[in-house]
Structure 1
Amino acid sequence: MGDLEIRSAVSDDVPAIVAMLADDPLGAQRESPDDLGPYLAALERLSADPNQHVVVAVRQGRVVGTLQLTIIPGLSRRGATRSIIEGVRIHADERGSGLGTQLIEWAIDTSREQGCQLVQLTSDRTRSDAHRFYERLGFTASHTGFKLQL
């Protein structure tokens, strides 16, 4: 990975993570970079759960990418454990550099180490570039997803 470090996120990383989450049309509608309280509380909860991995990619001391990996034991698929990749974001300056591939490969490798038989993720249907990216990495668009706002 050269000068790239992938490590667990800490509270000091939250401003950079939230800025990346908000740096696109969808994220701009959902995120609140001016109020970091809920994000800090969420990171504290996530950090206490061994099945949650919020990581950042750091290059030259700067947070340039992030994702969340969740490990889910299950009964279906003969008791398979799966992982879900969420919140993948790459800093605008780093897009196209291969960093996204490195982060997803980290998530896949970690999923294997955790005994997962399946890695899954969702991507908003408007993110066609992201869909092509995930397909290049071997993911298939095999399901239709549904969400219910609470």
Structure 2
Amino acid sequence: MQRATAYAGRIEAGEPFDTLDDCEDAILITEAALAVPGPRIVYVNAALERLCGYSREELLGNTPRLLQGYDTDREELARLRRELESRGQAEGEIMNYDKRRQEYVLGWTIVPIRDAAGAVRAWLSLQIDVLRESAGMRAQRTEA
């Protein structure tokens, strides 16, 4: 949660989204509106493009539903929405699909980006491939 909040804080302080282009963390930013059809993607960085296989141009203007599929847990998505509406942040895991329609377990931390008056103007989602991250941590422990 800390890293996502720090990135959101940079945007709230006036930095443009593209200052996140070179972050190692995969970052996706959407509009604030959560109602159907859902928040549209307004920014992704290069790490997010590598994670899901879609280019920035393919993602911008779409909703994160583009990354969902048959095994995406709809109840978890409903929980996510409730958490964002009630707590203003959320963490979780879900099955997503890359551009080749290959499954991956997505872990996310979502925090608000607020305007000067404190209203939510966008959502910042820090995302990881949970299985790849776990394998990397196991490899590091083995090397130690």
TM-score (norm 2): 0.29
Structure ranking higher on relative contact order (CA contacts 8 Å, 6+ apart): 2
TM-score (norm 1): 0.29
